[in-house]
Structure 1
Amino acid sequence: MKIQFAPLNVPFSRRVQTLAVVQWLFSFIALAQCCLALFILLCLTDLWFLAALYAAWLYLDRETPMLGGRRSSWVRGWRVWRHFRDYFPLTLVKTVDLDPKLNYLFGFHPHGVLVAGAFGNFCTKASGFGKLFPGLTPYLLMLPFWFKVPFFRDYIMCAGLVSSDKRSASFLLSQPGGGHAAVLAVGGAPESLEARPGALTLQLLSRKGFVKLAIQHGSPLVPVFSFGENELFNQMPNPRGSALRDAQERLQKLMGVALPLFHARGVFQYSWGLLPFRKPVCTVVGRPILVSQDPCPTREEVDRVHTLYLNGLNQLFEENKEKYGIEKHRHLSFI
Structure 2
Amino acid sequence: MKLEFAPLNIPLARRLQTAAVLQWILSFLFLALVCIGIIVILIIYNYWFLYIPYFTWLYFDWHTPEQGGRRSTWVRNWTVWKYFKDYFPIHLIKTWDLEPSHNYIFGFHPHGVLVPGAFGNFCTNHSDFKLLFPGFTAYLHVLSVWFCCPLFREYLMSSGIVSVSKKSVSHVLSKEGGGNISVIVPGGAKESLDAHPGNFTLFIRQRKGFVKMALIHGAYLVPVYSFGENELFKQVSNPKGSWLRTAQEKLQKTMGFALPLFHARGIFQYNFGLMPYRKCIHTVVGCPIPVHQTLNPTSEQIEELHQTYMEELRKLFEEHKGKYGVPEHKTLIFR
Verify same fold: TM over 0.5: yes
Q: Which residue of 1 aligns with 2:279?
A: 279
Q: Percent identity?
A: 57
CA–CA distance in structure 1, aligned partners of residues 172 and 239 of structure 2: 37
**Residue type at the aligned position of 1:104:** Y
In structure 2, give the amino acid aligned to 1:216.
Answer: I
What does residue 148 of structure 1 align with?
148
SS at match of 2:224: strand
Return the alpha-carbon distance in structure 2 between the equivalents of residues 196 and 73 of structure 1.
34
Q: Give secondary structure in 1 for the equivalent of 2:96.
A: coil
Deviations 1:245-280 (A, max 9, x none): 111111111110100000000000000000000000
Mapping for residues 51-66 of structure 1, pairs under 5 Å: 51-66=51-66
Offset, 1:49: 2.6
Which residue of 1 is the match for residue 116 of structure 2?
116
* Inter-partner Cα distance in structure 1 for 2:132 and 2:76: 16
> In structure 2, what residue type is equivalent to 1:239?
P
What amino acid does structure 1 have at the position aligned with 2:208? K
Q: Deviations over 1:63-108 (max 9, x none)?
A: 1000000001111111111100110000000111111111111100
- Counterpart position of 1:212: 212
Aligned residues, how many?
A: 335
Q: Secondary structure at the residue paired with 1:107?
A: strand
Give the whole-Å Cα distance in 2 for the aligned partners of 1:190 and 1:125. 29
CA distance in 2, matches of 1:99, 1:41: 50
When normalised by structure 1's length, the TM-score is 0.99
Structure 2 residue matching 1:91: 3-state secondary structure:
strand
Q: Which amino acid aligns with 2:141?
A: L
Paired residue secondary structure (1:153):
helix
Alpha-carbon distance between aligned partners in 1 of 2:47 and 2:326, rounded to the nearest angstrom: 56
Residues in 1 aligned to 2:57 and 2:148: alpha-carbon distance in whole angstroms: 12
| Deviation by residue 1:2-40 (Cα, 9 ceiling, x = unmatched) | 211111111111000000001110111111110111011
What one-letter code is carried by the residue in structure 1 that aligns with 2:268? F
List 4+ stretches of structure 1 deviating above 2 A: none
Amino acid at match of 1:190: K
Q: In structure 1, how many angstroms separate the alpha carbons of the residues matched to 2:96 and 2:262?
A: 35
Q: Deviations over 1:196-224 (max 9, x none)?
A: 11010000111111101100100000100
**CA RMSD across the alignment:** 0.7
Between the aligned partners of 2:167 and 2:30, the Cα distance in structure 1 is 28
Gaps of 5+ in 1: none
Task: Specify the alignment match of 1:311 in structure 2.
Answer: 311
| Whole-angstrom distance in 1 between the partners of 2:71 and 2:266 | 32
**2:33, 2:108 → 1: CA distance?**
27
How do residues 282-297 of structure 1 correspond to structure 2 at under 5 angstroms?
A: 282-297=282-297
Could you tell me how far 1:46 is from its partner in structure 2?
3.7
